[in-house]
Structure 1
Amino acid sequence: MKFHSKGLISLDINGEIYSYKLYQSLESLSKTKSQRQSAKELNISHTVFNRRLLKAEEKLGFKITEKVGNGTILTRDGLDLLEEFQKYIIKIETTNNLNIAGGHISSGLLESIKHPFNTNIYSSSDKDAFELARRGAVDILTLDDPLIAYERDIDFTPIAYDYLVLISSPNCEEIKNISDLRNLDFVNVTGSAQRLAWNTLKHYDIEYNIKYKLTSQFDAFKLVRNSENLHCFLNASYFKGNEILKFDTRHVISLIKVNEDKSEVDEFIDFILNEGQESIKNQGFIPI
């Protein structure tokens, strides 16, 4: 895991200065979902890590983390704070690196592909990443779900296909037919391609209940597996599950050129569409 550890990075919020150490903590926690693991990666004690978060929350006046099962995730306010740090870092970046921001699934895919380019890859929701792109803060926008592009008639480049699988609590009976989904409790992951599953259930007049709303597919998976009678639709590229809606939820993982004046943008996309397709397949996605 890479961290931006520039000692001069700080953020002024309502007169309070928050250093890069808080940024490192938030960035790590957004990926590990574990205070102990993040503390280990930052080479500090768990006590110091926890105190850093608590001190920030006291100064800010709102919660930036919350417990989910045995782990810890960022709240919506915590994610917003992390995004502010990321925007600032992008703005002061002086190298010729490609700045890429996008959804958790698509950005994670790009991070896993070996390529000859120097990149800074930032992971967030499609919505937050689009806002960064709209402000011209990134060179390439990557989308877990092309909905944003469809809604705004924006050209995008498909780089892979994915679909959703059904994850159920261990005590649940096997789902064999779509009708078996009727009146079940689900976890909704905002900003994901789950809209395809919900649209499919509505098409078949299947009523369902949204019991929890989360921002991370990984947190949703842990919640479902540690609960009773709970279900969730998650990306097949990262999770193994029931493929009952495989063909109804197939969708593209895509890239959008934001900075068309930077030659490396076209070169990077060309690489992903050619040499990078084997890596895409190895990561569990369906190549274009």
Structure 2
Amino acid sequence: MKFESKGLISLEINGEIFDYKLYQSLDSLSKTKSQRKSAKELNISHTVFNRRLLKAEEKLGVNITKKVGNGTILTSDGLKLLEEFKKYIIQIEKTSNINIAGGHISTGLLESIQTPFNTNIYSSSDEDAFELARRGAVDILTLDDPLIAYERDINFMPIAYDYLVLVSSPESRNIESISDLEGLDFVGVNGSAQRLAWNSLRHYDIEFNIKVRVNSQFDAFKLVRNSENLYTFLNASYFKGNELLKYDTQHVISVVKVNEDKAEVDDLIRFLLNDAQKSIEKQGFSPMG
């Protein structure tokens, strides 16, 4: 899909104009996973909400949502569309607030912490967030995995530790040792710290297959919980699971200062490194101290 900006609150996609209402709908649905809940949140009827999505799908020629159980989630095309809206909104928004973009885990952590600062927090993959930072569209970049910073020799500041746990369906066979992972099928999550798990399995000479790839750890969780033949590695701060590779997959959740001219950016980072550490620990992460 080819994206172009039009006006202040719309995008032109393949010659069709999509306004801010669609962005609101996609953004809400990405969080609630329910059309009825999102419709209520936006103070519109479920019929209007559903028609808005169907009309967008008709114009685009692709499905942007799909039913999962009793809920509805965004497809990869829906997530891509939402990310393009977010990128555009960040770029056109002129605000004194601190604009933050980053991975789902790191931004989720920041959203859970009460701070004395006014912030706008945008959740995406590490790669998309880095692109926004490269354009100078955000003040702070947060990273679920410091790989991007390592590869580009970017200074980053760790604010917490996390590690990965093996997650599967209650009906899946019991995993007691690393050798039990031999030949299993996994769900991969794009832009996550899972590379640490895959590298560890290769180090232990374990053969495995990444059968499905998704863009969200929450989507991966739903897939494996509904299949006794699929497994995945997810962040221990958000999910419970087997700690088989705990020490192999420990990594830092970090922030990168992008805007050098806004004094509040330094103040927020200092807050995260000091006063916020107890709150970070309460959210399931290991503090830096």
TM-score strictly above 0.5: yes
Contact 1:161/1:285 (8 A) holds in 2: yes
Does 2:253 align with 1:263? no
The corresponding residue for 2:4 is none
SS, match of residue 266 in structure 1: helix
State the shift of 1:69 in Å: 4.1
Instruction: Note if 1:116 corresponds to 2:97.
Output: no
Q: Which residue of 1 aligns with 2:90?
A: 90
Match of 1:283 in 2: 283
Query: Partner residue of 2:19?
Result: 19
Query: In the alignment, what sits opposite 2:3?
Result: none
Residue of structure 1 equivalent to 2:103: 103
Matches within 5 A, 1:215-230: 215-230=215-230
Deviation of 1:8 after TM superposition, in Å, equals: 6.1
1:63 to partner: Cα distance? 2.3
Segment of structure 1 superposing worse, 209-218 or 67-76: 67-76
Distance in 2 (alpha carbons) for counterparts of 1:130 and 1:8: 23
- Residue 168 in 1 paired to residue 168 in 2? yes
**Post-superposition CA distance 1:81-125 (Å, at most 9, x none):** 212222222223222000000000000000011011110000000
CA shift at 1:129, angstroms? 0.6
State the shift of 1:188 in Å: 0.8
Write the distance in 2 (CA, Å) between the matches of 1:235 and 1:141.
Answer: 19
Task: Answer yes or no: is the 8 Å Cα contact 1:98–1:264 preserved in 2.
Answer: yes
SS at match of 2:200: helix
Note if contact 2:140-2:265 (Cα within 8 Å) is conserved in structure 1: yes
Give unpaired runs (5+ residues) of structure 2: 1-6
Give the 5 Å matches for 1:196-207: 196-207=196-207
Q: Which residue of 1 is the match for residue 130 of structure 2?
A: 130
Q: Does the aligned pair in 2 maintain the 1:68–1:219 contact within 8 Å?
A: no
Alignment: residue pair count: 282
* Displaced runs of 4 or more, over 4 A: none
How far residue 255 of structure 1 moved from its aligned partner, in angstroms, is: 0.3
Take 2:249 and 2:205, find their aligned partners in 1: how far apart are those partners?
A: 17
Distance 2:94 2:217 in 1: 33
Distance 1:230 1:210 in 2: 9
Distance in 2 between the 1:87 and 1:185 partners?
A: 34
8 Å CA contact 2:157–2:256 kept in 1: the answer is yes
Q: C-alpha separation between the residues in 2 aligned to 1:169 and 1:14?
A: 41
How many percent of aligned residue pairs carry the same amino acid? Answer: 79
Residue 276 of structure 1: how far off its partner (Å): 0.6
Query: Against the structure 1 CA distance between its residues 97 and 50, is the aligned structure 2 distance closer, same or farther, given a 3 Å change threshold?
Result: same
Please give the alpha-carbon distance, in whole angstroms, between the structure 1 residues aligned to 2:71 and 2:195. Answer: 26
Q: 183-192 vs 66-75, which deviates more?
A: 66-75
Q: Does 25-34 or 186-195 show the bigger shift?
A: 25-34
Q: For 2:249, give the aligned amino acid.
A: T
1:236 deviates by 0.2
Within 2, Cα distance between the matches of 1:36 and 1:128? 29
Correspondence for 2:179 = 179
Letter in 2 for 1:127: E
Distance in 1 separating the partners of 2:168 and 2:82: 31
- Alpha-carbon deviation of 1:29? 1.4
Describe how 1:66-77 pairs up with structure 2 within 5 A: 66-77=66-77
Which residue does the alignment assign to 1:30? 30
Residue equivalent to 1:59: 59
Aligned partner of 1:135: which letter?
R
How far, CA to CA, are the matches of 1:168 and 1:84 in structure 2? 32
Q: Matched residue of 1:43: which SS?
A: coil
* CA displacement, residues 37-80 of structure 1 (integer Å, 9 cap, x when unaligned): 22221122222212111101111222222334443222232222
Normalization by structure 1: what TM-score?
Answer: 0.94
In 1, Cα distance between equivalents of 2:59 and 2:264 = 41
Aligned-partner residue type, residue 39 of structure 1: A
Tell me whether 1:43 sits opposite 2:81 in the alignment.
no
SS at match of 1:105: helix
How far 1:171 moved relative to its partner? 1.4
Contact 1:186/1:232 (<8 A) preserved: yes
Single out whichever of 269-278 and 66-75 deviates more from structure 2: 66-75
**Is contact 2:8-2:92 (8 Å) kept?**
no
Task: Name the Cα RMSD after superposition.
Answer: 1.5
Mapped partners of 2:103, 2:19: distance in 1: 25
What is aligned with 2:190? 190
